[in-house]
Copies of this chain bind each other. A is one copy, B any other.
Amino acid sequence: MRQAATEIVIATPGKGLHEITGEVAAWVVAQGMTTGLLTVFCRHTSASLCIQENAAAEVRGDVVRWLDRIAPENAGYAHDDEGPDDMPAHLKAILTGVHLSVPLIDGKLTLGTWQGIYICEHRRAPHRRTIALHVTGY
């Protein structure tokens, strides 16, 4: 067994789901393992990660609008230091989660045909987000 770890920085253009499958998979493949376990970790509390449909682009819009309904702005939050999109961003990050684990079999991530890895930016403004990657295997 061996392991590798790194951090990548993703510049998000503001609120939405932004695919990072290509960047993540390229790094994993470069580690040259046949079998293993990938972990993706988002080092933020107002951005998060999810695995979702990578074909139909309108799914992403539906996800964003649904998150806005589940965790709306201006809902009487005690915490509003950074503006109305701050506390909803924390809630959406809790709902979606900040870590992903994906096994590697036969030299490839076991993502299904329609699965992509996305960073979910919950703030309106563009941000630079740091993602830690770890893989163990051989």
A41 at the interface (CB under 8 A from B): yes
Q: Give the residue of B3, B45, B52, B137 whose beta carbon is less than 8 angstroms from that of A36.
A: B3
The number of chain A residues with a CB under 8 A from chain B is: 59
A105-B50 CB under 8 A given contacts A56-B79, A62-B77: no
- Beyond the given pairs A45-B114, A56-B81, A105-B134, 7 more chain A to chain B contacts, judged by CB atoms under 8 angstroms and listed by A's residue number, are A3-B37, A3-B136, A5-B35, A36-B134, A61-B78, A62-B90, A103-B134
Q: Could you list 10 A-B pairs, sorted by A, with CB under 8 Å?
A: A1-B3, A1-B136, A37-B134, A41-B101, A41-B103, A45-B53, A62-B77, A63-B90, A101-B101, A103-B134
